[in-house]
Amino acid sequence: MATQSIVITGSTRGIGRGLAAEFLKRGHLVTVSGRTQVAVDEAVAALTPLAVGGARVVGAPCDVADAAAVQRLWDTAAGAFGRVDVWINNAGLSHPRRQIGELHAADIDVVADTNLLGMMLGTQVALVGMRKQTDGGTIWNMEGFGSNGMTSPGMSLYGASKFALTYFNKALLAETRGETVKVCWLSPGIVVTDLVKRDMGSASGPEIARTRRIYDILADRVETVTPWLADQVLRPHKAGDRVAWLTNGKAFRRFAGSLFRKRKVLSDADFAAG
């Protein structure tokens, strides 16, 4: 497999960092990003020993809601590696599980800016840059709760940002039909990250037990999901492809299996960390 240059937004921790690690283990060139230089430097230092077969990792601080910062992220990757083959819009935030009338304005701003505006800016920068490359490239936009229209009390803002991503990707597919730049979906399912821990920590009352039970049935650890996701991303794809870890069939089998066998994904420390 040819070496690929891969940019991952929001990759100093969680799924993004897990993906970066897996790509480096497979011999690829990775550019990571986070909100601060300190976080980026720490991630690069920790990830560098994982690189094999000529793989390298560089990083740049990037607020994905800042168009200039997103462009600098592209420039960092292109400057270090000569091109960008894969761009993954992974950066995402959630908010405390509260109904919209109870959310603070700051929560609304940061979730909308990161999940929606940040994804759009990342896509735009990657699209413009990849169109200048002979072989184009692939843009992956990360799905989440709400992408399929599912609703849940307290998740209106986060879910709306992901449902908008679905529309945005569909529109992009029409705009880029026949091009060498491909737009695809990446769906990691429910992964135990800081975002999920915050959601668990904001649950209250009878909702706590139900939330924990659902996560123990459906959730997975970063180290379980990211090797598979990385392998799938590295395969050849057509525009509009969707790579999904937690399919409807898998979810159904897990619920059915939970009647006979209890999965234990979460620890008490995970639940308290929110």
Catalytic positions, written as ranges:
158
As a whole number of angstroms, the distance between CA 122 and CA 71 comes to 8
- The residue written with tokens 């592209």 in the block is 74
DSSP-assigned letter for residue 102: G
Beta bridge partners of 181: 137
As a whole number of angstroms, the distance between CA 94 and CA 108 comes to 10
List for the chain the helix, strand, coil content (%; round to 5). Answer: 50, 15, 35
The three-state secondary structure class of 32 is strand
As a whole number of angstroms, the distance between CA 41 and CA 22 comes to 18
- The residue written with tokens 């920068």 in the block is 125
The encoded tokens of residue 125 equal 């920068």
The encoded tokens of residue 67 equal 């168009």
Contact 168, 121 (CB under 8 A): no
- Whether the CA torsion 242, 245, 251, 253 is positive or negative: it is positive
Contact 214, 200 (CB under 8 A): no
